[in-house]
Amino acid sequence: MVGDLLEDFYNVLARKGFWRAHAWFWWQALWLGLGYCVFRFWQPLEHAARALEIERMLEALSPQGLMSDVRHAVRALRKDLGLVVFATLITGLGVGATTAVFSVMKPLLIEPLPFVESDRLVWIANQGDGGLSSGMSRTSNLRDFRELSTSFDGLAGYFAFFESYTLTGSGEPERLTGVAVTDDFLRVLGVEPMLGRGFTPEEGAILGSPAVILSHRLWERSFGGDRSIVGQSLTINGSPSVVAGVLPPSFDFASYFSPGSRVDLLTTFPVTDQTDAWGNTLSIIGRLAPEATLEGARAEMAVILEQLQGADPERWGLGAALTPLQRVISGEHRTSLLLLFAAAASVLLIVCVNLSSLLLSKGIRRRQEMFLRAALGAPRARLLRLLMTESLLLAGCGALLGVGLARLITSAVAGSSSVTIPLLSSVRVDFGALVFSCLVATGAGLAVGILPAIQASGVGSAGELRAAGRTLTSSRRSRWLREVLVVAEVAVACALLVVGALLIQSFTKLLAVDLGFQPDEVAAWPVDTGQEFETYGERVAFLDSLLEAADAVPGVSSVGLVDAIPLGSSRLWGFGVAGRELERDEELAMFPHVVSDRYLETMGISLLAGRGFTDADTQETEPVILINETAANSVFPGQEAIGQALLFRDVKLRIVGIVADVKHLALEMGSGPEVYLPVAQTGDYGSLDLVVRSELPLDAIRGGVAAAIRSVDPSMPTHDVRTMAHVVDQSVSPRRFTLTLLSGFAAVAVLLAALGIYGVLSYSVAERSREIAIRMALGESAQQVRGRVLARTLGLAGLGAVIGVFLSMAASRFAMAMLFGIGATDTGTLLTIPLLLLAVAALAGLLPALRASKVDALRVLQAP
């Protein structure tokens, strides 16, 4: 057969090419193998059955037979409610876990993004292939790529710094978060507004007519789903803007591009020299032309970049790294989700093993019944089917529970705004997930049932029945089978525990990281005013009065202003050093923060040398700057940094102090070079936050601070306050999410493994009570009996643990990307976990051991 197949394979190869021929080959081989094996397996049965009683065989395969099987299975299961409850519970756990993880994975990894031909969308980062938050580009890059590239149907961008807007005119002033996009943004993504239209090029021009597109949620929340809103004018930041359209509910900008945050409206971003001067601020997305490929586009981009750099050697910030959009969005979560899925699947595996071993022991008890049925003429196929129906029914009950469980988990996950995983809000148990859980349950039912069914239905001679009737002893083979199952179960549980333990240790290490600031007792209010000011001095005076009013609130110990709170957004400015000749591309890229004088104190950032800002630093005095430790060490190695000056846009900024490093991007990432500029001297920021330190709980000062803010600007919304502790928490949320689920899975796995050990041993003690009684009658002490049972337990668990350690070494290598401060083969963990498992196994084996040693030899041996 193989030869025939190979011969034809070469024919197909010549006609259809490599891939299709290989696909053909494996498809044929699969079907041939499956079909032929089934046939070979069935044929003897069929013959035997036909030789005996064809009619009964046919009846066994008829649908009526099936119904009677189901009826019988229900009756049999009703007699053993304990088993049903236990099996339903654990199968429910397994199916629930896999279905829930599948549902979380589905929108991110399995389904294409819900854009038109989303596989043609490409993320064009400035450099590298970092995630969503990195790789911003200059506006001039977008302009030139649009002009020179032929690989794209369209290139669009969005301003990576979300802005806050104040909506007034209809009741309470409301703060909205908006993102500025180029006018063709929706067209490139392939998103049709639900109502109205996208932006026009006129609206996208620099001083074009202001227009906004509302998110579906804002439209429902603030405008009650009013369809006539399109074309009306809203007062945003004090000036009128026309509502061009409303986004469809399926397109929630934030859930794709900035998970965990909220975007209420889109505004326009003009592609001009002015916006280019802002530096790397734009995230670029392109749609490949129908005939273009990613590789082709990459090659073309390389040529374009060279051409542009050649035309203007001075040009900086030029770069284009192309990645499929889906990869960028799922990005770092891919590994953790796959890991979770593997963990859930392992739990399911353990569930199956447990259940299988349970049914095996139950099957032995039912041998008499099976024999009777066979004696009365039931063919083996019929017995097999009967037993399989039972296990499928059990799995079905489990699936019902599992789907319920998965719904609970997914609704909890989808409703939580504190986990920053993309597309989480669209997670639900939908039809696909239902199909998935049905498949899983059926698979589990078959897998669980097949071994016990084959064993129980394979009844032999009348002699065996007599033997079975008397001692209920299972064959050596079936005991061996159950022990193999236990070993497998312990091994999988061990691997899960090791990975879980590594992740927990990473997490605690991460939480113990020195943030560089003290997040406790600090809360932040966004304070962007819609007011217009004649001069920057007036704006500063406004901010001063805001600070003063907030500081006067009882319980507030310190207040400050900042344009980028830690663990929020990032941006880079290029600085020069006074007295050093630097080429344009040698400029020092540093993360600037515009802050008020008491910001450091409020945040708890320590000043290492020099002085902080004071109210004496004003527009009239010399421009000053603070740098962090990393900047001081990298820019002025071995020199005194204080007193030196940095250059920004040809302005000399005197360094007056050095502050401690702060974790600004993520807890896992080190701090880069950062600088602080006084808000009194620079207006170069997007939005400001008022940070307030108070020993009182947030609720005690919330009203006071809000009133203080409104006393300065009555139109400023005050409800969207966050505590810094929450901000920190949110930044570790994906990790916490993975960790919580994974440790849950690991705990369930260990529990089930312990149950499995207990079940197998107590069964083996029960069925061997006769043997034990004889041994005791011959003089074995109770202690020796206990010792033997325990030794067996530890032997099985030990073997499982050893295999588990090897398994976990492979698994943790896979989880490497998620580890922090700990190696994938951490010796401590790899030693401790198996020992822990052995201890659990010993506990599980203790009860059967005690029971064995209490066997009443006389009574057992006298029993008929």
**Contact status: 6 vs other proteins (CB under 8 A):** yes
Ranges assigned E (strand) in 552-603 = 556-562, 573-577, 588-595
Query: Of 9, 24, 636, 814, which one interacts with other proteins (CB under 8 A)?
Result: 9
Using the minimum distance from each CB to other proteins, give the nearer residue, 28 or 634: 28
Nearest Cα to Cα of residue 509 among 811, 826, 724: 826
Segment contacting other proteins (CB under 8 A): 6-14, 223-231, 549-557, 631-639? 6-14
Q: Which of residues 304-343 bind other proteins (CB under 8 A)?
A: none
**Contact status: 17 vs other proteins (CB under 8 A):** no
CA distance 653 to 590: 14
Using the minimum distance from each CB to other proteins, give the nearer residue, 5 or 67: 5
Query: Of 20, 23, 26, 31, which one interacts with other proteins (CB under 8 A)?
Result: 31
The minimum distance between CB 7 and other proteins, in angstroms, equals 5
**Contact status: 533 vs other proteins (CB under 8 A):** no
Q: Which of residues 809-828 bind other proteins (CB under 8 A)?
A: none
CA distance 361 to 197: 67
Query: Of 12, 28, 187, 472, which one interacts with other proteins (CB under 8 A)?
Result: 28
CA distance 313 to 309: 5
Residues that bind other proteins (rule: CB under 8 A) add up to a total of 18
Using the minimum distance from each CB to other proteins, give the nearer residue, 49 or 132: 49
The minimum distance between CB 507 and other proteins, in angstroms, equals 53
The minimum distance between CB 34 and other proteins, in angstroms, equals 8
Q: For residue 72, how many other CB atoms are within 10 A of its CB?
A: 13
DSSP state string for 168-213 = ESSSS-EEEEEEEE-TTHHHHHT---SEE----HHHHSTT---EEE
The phi-psi region of residue 391 (left if phi > 0; otherwise alpha if psi is between -120 and 50; otherwise beta) is alpha
CA 111 centroid distance within chain: 15
Using the minimum distance from each CB to other proteins, give the nearer residue, 5 or 608: 5
The minimum distance between CB 23 and other proteins, in angstroms, equals 16
Secondary-structure breakdown of the chain: helix, strand, coil percentages, each rounded to the nearest 5: 55, 15, 30
Using the minimum distance from each CB to other proteins, give the nearer residue, 43 or 784: 43
Q: At what angle do helices 63-78 and 18-61 cross, to 10 degrees?
A: 80
Q: At what angle do helices 724-731 and 733-767 cross, to 10 degrees?
A: 60
For the record, the structure tokens of 33 come out as 């193998």
Q: At what angle do helices 63-78 and 81-105 cross, to 10 degrees?
A: 110
Which residues touch 812 (CB under 8 Å, ≥6 apart)? 498, 499, 502, 819, 824, 825
Query: Of 3, 670, 714, 864, which one interacts with other proteins (CB under 8 A)?
Result: 3
Using the minimum distance from each CB to other proteins, give the nearer residue, 34 or 791: 34
The minimum distance between CB 14 and other proteins, in angstroms, equals 10
Q: Which of residues 33-72 bind other proteins (CB under 8 A)?
A: 35-36, 39-40, 43
**Contact status: 24 vs other proteins (CB under 8 A):** no
Only one residue has tokens 């202001």, namely: 210
The minimum distance between CB 37 and other proteins, in angstroms, equals 10
The minimum distance between CB 10 and other proteins, in angstroms, equals 4
Which H or E run contains 737?
Answer: helix 733-767
The minimum distance between CB 29 and other proteins, in angstroms, equals 9
**Contact status: 534 vs other proteins (CB under 8 A):** no
- Cα–Cα distances (Å) from 7 to 1, 11, 24, 813, in that order, read 10, 7, 13, 41
**Contact status: 806 vs other proteins (CB under 8 A):** no
Segment contacting other proteins (CB under 8 A): 31-39, 300-308, 321-329, 715-723? 31-39
Segment contacting other proteins (CB under 8 A): 5-13, 353-361, 465-473, 743-751? 5-13
Convert residues 422-461 into a mask of x (bound to other proteins by CB under 8 A) and - (unbound).
----------------------------------------
For strand 211-214 and strand 239-246, is the pairing parallel, antiparallel, or unpaired? parallel
Which H or E run contains 835?
Answer: helix 827-853
Q: Which of residues 458-477 bind other proteins (CB under 8 A)?
A: none
For strand 645-648 and strand 163-168, is the pairing parallel, antiparallel, or unpaired? unpaired
**CB neighbour class for 579 (10 Å; exposed up to 12, middle 13-18, buried from 19):** exposed
The phi-psi region of residue 237 (left if phi > 0; otherwise alpha if psi is between -120 and 50; otherwise beta) is left
- Cα–Cα distances (Å) from 746 to 247, 354, 492, 733, 790, in that order, read 42, 15, 10, 19, 24
Using the minimum distance from each CB to other proteins, give the nearer residue, 7 or 534: 7
- 591-619 in b/e form (b: 16+ CB < 10 A) is bbbbbbbbbbbbbbbeeeebebbeeebee
The minimum distance between CB 31 and other proteins, in angstroms, equals 6
Using the minimum distance from each CB to other proteins, give the nearer residue, 40 or 477: 40
Using the minimum distance from each CB to other proteins, give the nearer residue, 51 or 207: 51
**Contact status: 7 vs other proteins (CB under 8 A):** yes
Segment contacting other proteins (CB under 8 A): 24-32, 406-414, 423-431, 453-461? 24-32
Convert residues 68-107 into a mask of x (bound to other proteins by CB under 8 A) and - (unbound).
----------------------------------------
Using the minimum distance from each CB to other proteins, give the nearer residue, 40 or 75: 40
H helices within 512-611, ranges in order? 536-551, 599-603
Question: Which residues bind to other proteins, rule: CB under 8 A?
Answer: 1-10, 28, 31-32, 35-36, 39-40, 43
